[in-house]
Amino acid sequence: MWKPNRQSNQPLYQQIADDLERRISYGEFPPGSVLPSERKLAEQLEVNRSTVVLAYSELRALGIIDSRSGSGTRVTKYKWGATPKHPPNWHRYAEGGSFLPNLPFMRRIREALGQNQSLIDFASGELAADISPVEEINILMNENHYTEYLGYDNPQGFVPLRQELVNYLSQYRDIHTTDSSILITSGSQQSLYLITQCLLSPGDAVAIEDPSYCYSLPMFQTAGLRLFRLPVDHKGVRPEDIRTLYKKHRIKMVFINPNFQNPTGAVLDNERRIQLLDVASELGLPIVEDDPFSLTAYEGAPPPPLKSIDSIGSVLYIGSFSKIAASGLRVGWMVAPHSVIERLADARQQMDFGLSVIPQRVAAQFLKSPYFVPHMDRLRMHLLYKRDLLIKALQKELPDLITFTIPQGGLHLWCKIIPKINDSKLLEEAIRRGVIFVPGSVYGSDSGYMRFTYARPKAEDIGSGISKFAAALRDVLS
């Protein structure tokens, strides 16, 4: 006899409901017939009675069965007879699939931002409207008549953009590559998604910084990967930890965000970079380097990417315009060996048939335009200004309650609240008071940490946002 599978991801009651629906549809229980009592079925299936109650309630909601007091649970004529119309159980379909939903905190933040446009937004990891090059893009779109064929794009992405990126990477990132080694993606997000779906298999072990924005992305779990942690200190990750993880778990890939790490802002130490590449090339281990923030370095030259000193070819390099120009362009890129690019371009074609040519063309024009360098200068100035506004506000409002290291680039400040705190309560109280941030647990850290994105709110809102946050914090602590 059939028994529910306790190893399955599907709840027991749903398995039972599915099995009953199947047996009914096969005629085992014809319309009008009586089903086993809840108690009896629970005994047969070796589950709690409450599980059967839930299963029956599901089938009742579907109109498949009917319970009347005194006469037990019967198969309706409604579904299996002559006038039996009902829609699919969409709710159940929406709960299906192997794709995991976003984390509850992330969904809550999205929901709150959707409901209240006036929330002061320290949560969204992107630039404010006034730092995005909207005016420049407008000029470029008006200056450059659109006359290209608007067919499906090259599977690797728009060729002129890839050619511009070859220059960009050489000039700004000291990476020397060819346009056929570049895949254009819908931001870093799609690069990571393609890597987790196409280069790794369920059960593979990978190493991820701790904390890391990667923990906020359920795609790693969706791909069935086992995640192992590389603690980040003020000098970034420790290369020896990678060797240890390789020996213990035979990790297959390492994900690193070495410059102005999200969320900590840490920059990987120079000596550690060399050691890290040594370890990787010794073990034949690929490093995925996500490098979206480097060009925001507030003072001095931006830190170089790992890829620029990777003489062996261990690094898959990912970049994006999202954090330095406009997230709404949805233009990112990956530099990788040809076999990898081909594989990922083929898979991406199946997912979405490639990106629109239009924003890719705008991005290419922006890169080669006289607007790019002044935009970057303005961006760095704005970010530095906003960072200082945030730090001053925190020092003024919460001098004893919060600690942080001052980031030298990037969009985020990573803070620790000194007293013990309930993340969830604090977030709700902050939302109630009109301000929002991301609890650090989203990035894999313990409770009591948080990420403030100073790039996103307007400069004039930063002070009042932190006042509201301080009030929320004091309220939750009291």
Instruction: Give the C-alpha distances (Å, rounded to integers) separating 382 from 66, 207, 208.
Output: 65, 34, 31
Instruction: State how far the Cα of 435 lies from the Cα of 450, in Å rounded to an integer.
Output: 13
For residue 50, count other CB atoms closer than 10 A to its CB: 11
Reported residue count of the chain is: 478
Cβ at position 101, least distance to a second copy in Å: 5
Q: Which of residues 339-398 bind a second copy (CB under 8 A)?
A: 339-340, 342-343, 346-347, 349-359, 362
What is the residue whose two structure tokens read 């379909």? Answer: 93
Smaller CB separation from a second copy, 2 or 353: 353
CB 416 within 8 A of CB 404: yes
The 123-142 site mask, x for binding a second copy (CB under 8 A), equals -x-xx-x--x-x--xx--xx
The C-alpha torsion from 295 through 299 and 305 to 310, rounded to 10°, is 150
Count Cβ neighbours within 10 Å for each residue of 234-272 and write b for 16 or more, e otherwise. eebbbbebbbebbeeeebbbbbbbbbbbbbbbbbbbeeb
Q: Is 163 in the site for a second copy (CB under 8 A)?
A: no
Instruction: State how far the Cα of 64 lies from the Cα of 80, in Å rounded to an integer.
Output: 8
For residue 172, count other CB atoms closer than 10 A to its CB: 18
SS3 of 122-168: CCCCCCCHHHCCHHHHHHHHHHCCCCCCCCCCCCCCCHHHHHHHHHH
Cβ at position 460, least distance to a second copy in Å: 17
Q: Which of residues 391-450 bind a second copy (CB under 8 A)?
A: none
Smaller CB separation from a second copy, 290 or 429: 290
Smaller CB separation from a second copy, 112 or 223: 223
Q: Site for a second copy (CB under 8 A): which residue of 97, 300, 370, 399?
A: 97
Cβ at position 429, least distance to a second copy in Å: 25
- Sign of torsion over alpha carbons 10, 11, 12, 17: negative
The 33-62 site mask, x for binding a second copy (CB under 8 A), equals -----------------------------x
The region of 47-55, 79-87, 374-382, 424-432 touching a second copy under the rule CB under 8 A is: 79-87
Q: Site for a second copy (CB under 8 A): which residue of 11, 31, 36, 218?
A: 218
Q: Site for a second copy (CB under 8 A): which residue of 160, 187, 236, 465?
A: 187
Residue 34: DSSP 8-state? B
The 249-288 site mask, x for binding a second copy (CB under 8 A), equals -x-x-------------------------x-xxxxxxx--
The region of 87-95, 166-174, 267-275, 294-302 touching a second copy under the rule CB under 8 A is: 87-95
Smaller CB separation from a second copy, 79 or 433: 79
Instruction: State how far the Cα of 353 lies from the Cα of 226, in Å rounded to an integer.
Output: 29
- Sign of torsion over alpha carbons 281, 282, 287, 291: negative
Q: Is 14 in the site for a second copy (CB under 8 A)?
A: no
Q: Site for a second copy (CB under 8 A): which residue of 3, 40, 107, 378?
A: 107
Q: Is 148 in the site for a second copy (CB under 8 A)?
A: yes
What is the residue whose two structure tokens read 């948080």? Answer: 450
Smaller CB separation from a second copy, 123 or 398: 123
Residue 51: burial class (beta carbons within 10 Å; 0-12, 13-18, 19+): buried
Q: Site for a second copy (CB under 8 A): which residue of 37, 57, 67, 89?
A: 89
Q: Which of residues 294-333 bind a second copy (CB under 8 A)?
A: 312-314, 322, 326-331
Q: How many residues interact with a second copy (rule CB under 8 A)?
A: 108
Q: Site for a second copy (CB under 8 A): which residue of 53, 198, 376, 471?
A: 198
What is the residue whose two structure tokens read 């067919």? Answer: 151
Smaller CB separation from a second copy, 178 or 201: 201
Q: Site for a second copy (CB under 8 A): which residue of 102, 275, 424, 464?
A: 102
Q: Is 110 in the site for a second copy (CB under 8 A)?
A: yes
Instruction: State how far the Cα of 454 lies from the Cα of 26, in Å rounded to an integer.
Output: 60
Q: Site for a second copy (CB under 8 A): which residue of 219, 245, 256, 383?
A: 219
Q: Is 85 in the site for a second copy (CB under 8 A)?
A: yes
Angle at which helices 104-115 and 423-433 pack, to 10 degrees?
A: 10
Partners of residue 414 on adjacent β-strands = 451
Smaller CB separation from a second copy, 73 or 314: 314
